Structure 1
Amino acid sequence: MKQIAIVSGKGGTGKTTLSSSLGILFDNAILADCDVDAANLNLMFNSKVLEEHEYYGGKKAIIDHEKCNNCGICKKVCRFEAIVFDGSYKVDPYACEGCNACVISCPQNAIKLEESLSGKFYYSTSETKNIVHGNLTPGEETSGGLVAEVRKLAIEKSKNLNKEIVLIDGAPGIGCPATSSIAATYFVIIVTEPTLSGIHDLKRIIDTVRHFKRDFAIVINKYDINEEISKEIESFCRKENISILGKIPFDETVENAILESKPIVTFKDSKAAKAIMEIYKKLIKIIKKEEKA
């Protein structure tokens, strides 16, 4: 079983467009949407939830009002302004970081930390695909842990279903959820776009992937909206000895595919779909070459 991650240095580069289409082309794959702050891969397949799991990734302070004498020490020591007074002292769960300062400062021992529901993750299925995805509760900062749970469940389901590929739609950027999407994968596809910010973010995610010592290649999405910058990206990749897995042209059909909640590769006459098919063929060659080696 091989885990292939599709990531990007920033959001909006077309990562999910590519992930959903590769999900169709790999008939032996299970999909994992690791963008837990804004999961949308399951929407592309009109999937139905079969399993729902709770994720407890942190702790929040709880005040026992039977013990509390309203001394206000907890409010003074809280650097996150998570203690509010409304006739009595209460904890704002969206502001609380679970740092424990209020607990050890309370002279009445009226405060304790309790595990907090930080999000949920799901196993869903459609007519064509099985998908694992998650949603982090707004304000929570344990997204990397939830990504790990999504990947664990995807691996478990892949073994149960005898799937050979876990295709990961990774979190954008270079933060904790992105690194959790990349770690211990077989291969990483980095999606970029020909803009000045795109080049900057591409270099950052390349450094991140190299840190984890993962094999990777680049896909330039909408390469023809600025061919000068696309050439600059290609020149950079040549100097760095980085493979270009493919270039996807701008295609208005992509917008129609999104509106219809369908992977673009299902639109056979689409220019983008044809380019993604070529990317898929190259990816198959990479996998077969590695297997022979």
Structure 2
Amino acid sequence: MIRLAVVSGKGGTGKTMVAAALADISGMPQVLADCDVDAANLEFLFHPRRLTTEEFRGLAAARIDPERCRDCGICADHCRFGAIVRNDAWEVDALHCEGCAVCTYVCPVGAVSMKPRLCGEIYTSATDRGNLAHARLFPGSGNSGLLVTEVKKRAMRLADGADLLLADGPPGIGCPLIASISGMDAVLIVTEPGVSALHDLERLVTVCRRFGVRIFAAINRFDLAGDICARIEGYCEREEIVVAGKIPFDTSVVDAVRNGRPVTQGDSAAGDALRALKNTLFAELGLS
């Protein structure tokens, strides 16, 4: 099984659009994973039928036992995040707690402990294009990298008989991205002809190189700035990165997203370009 992650150096490049198109036209047994847990959108294009729902408990938060607390306030004095507040008794505002556990060390009577907090939910679902592992991170919650790892674990459990694991990864180069590309065979970086996008592409390639994955690129809306598109192609040539495809600006993409479907489910210039991209990419990966 080939494990492929579709990623981007910045948000708004069309990464999920490309991932959904590849999933729509792959033509092979596959399992899907939406690793962009901070803004999971793949489900909106495939209308999944929920199979399982699990709680995700990530970063621990402090909790004060009112029976043991002696009302000294030492924990509040040492909390640099202002998470310990006084109401009828000393309490922890979990939204502000950063999980540093300093309060547990300074409490003279051991009234403060760390408890895992509910940070989100993990789902497995069925779609017309294969099973999907996805998740939702609750607002204000952290540890999205850990949640991405859990999503990938669920995807692997669903991968029996699949020839392709296709993951829609997060933008950027942070912990969620690292969790997404770890253990993958290849990444497809979706970029666009902009100065900031080129800069972020370079940073993302530097990170991906450290994980030994094969790197491919796709340039979305390539015809909006020919000079910068040429710079991106020149960079990829110097780095020996195959540009698997270039997708033109096409309002059909917006129409498809608004109607909750991959753009490849209709006739359009962008759809044709994505089909050509898929053929080039899959040939490079040895997928029939």
Q: TM-score w.r.t. structure 1 length?
A: 0.95
Residue 148 of structure 1, CA deviation: 0.5
Within 5 Å, give how 1:24-39 maps onto structure 2: 24-26=24-26, 27-39=28-40
Deviates more, 1:130-139 or 1:199-208: 130-139
Tell whether the 8 Å contact from 2:30 to 2:129 is kept in structure 1 after alignment. no
- The equivalent of 1:138 in structure 2 is 139
Q: For residues 206-231 of structure 1, what are the alpha-carbon distances to aligned partners after superposition, in whole Å with 9 as ceiling and x for unaligned? A: 11101112111110000001111101
In the alignment, what sits opposite 1:19? Answer: 19
Partner of 1:158, secondary structure, is coil
Distance 1:128 1:177 in 2: 25
Query: 1:127: Cα distance to partner?
Result: 3.2
Report how many residues are paired.
287
Q: Unaligned 5+ residue runs, structure 2?
A: none
CA distance in 1, matches of 2:136, 2:285: 31
1:117-128 superposed matches below 5 A = 117-128=118-129
| TM-aligned CA deviation for residue 126 of structure 1 | 2.6
Query: Scaled by the length of structure 2, what TM-score is found?
Result: 0.96
Question: Is the CA contact 1:42–1:124 (under 8 Å) kept in the aligned structure 2?
Answer: no
Q: For 1:85-96, list aligned pairs within 5 A.
A: 85-96=86-97
User: Which amino acid in the other structure matches residue 215 of structure 2?
Assistant: F
1:150 aligns with 2:148: no
Q: Give me the identity figure in percent.
A: 41
Paired letter, 1:255: V
Q: Is 1:71 paired with 2:72?
A: yes
Q: Encode CA deviations 1:147-206: one digit per residue, 9 max, x unaligned.
A: 0010011011012xx111110000110000011111110111000010111111111111
**Cα separation, 1, equivalents of 2:158 and 2:86:** 47
2:104 corresponds to = 103
Q: Contact 1:218–1:244 at 8 Å: present in 2 too?
A: yes
C-alpha separation in 1, matches of 2:58 and 2:283? 39
**Aligned-partner Cα distance in 2 for 1:240–1:282:** 18
What SS is found at the alignment partner of 2:286? Answer: helix
Equivalent in the alignment of 1:277: 275
Separation in structure 1 between the aligned mates of residue 131 and residue 276 of structure 2, nearest angstrom: 24
Equivalent residue, structure 2, for 1:233: 232
Partner Cα separation in structure 2 for residue 123 and residue 41 of structure 1? 13
Structure 2 residue identity aligned to 1:225: L
Structure 1: runs of 5+ lacking an equivalent: none
CA RMSD, aligned part only?
1.3
Return the alpha-carbon distance in structure 1 between the equivalents of residues 35 and 128 of structure 2.
Answer: 21
SS in structure 2 at match of 1:66: coil
1:260 maps to what in 2? 259
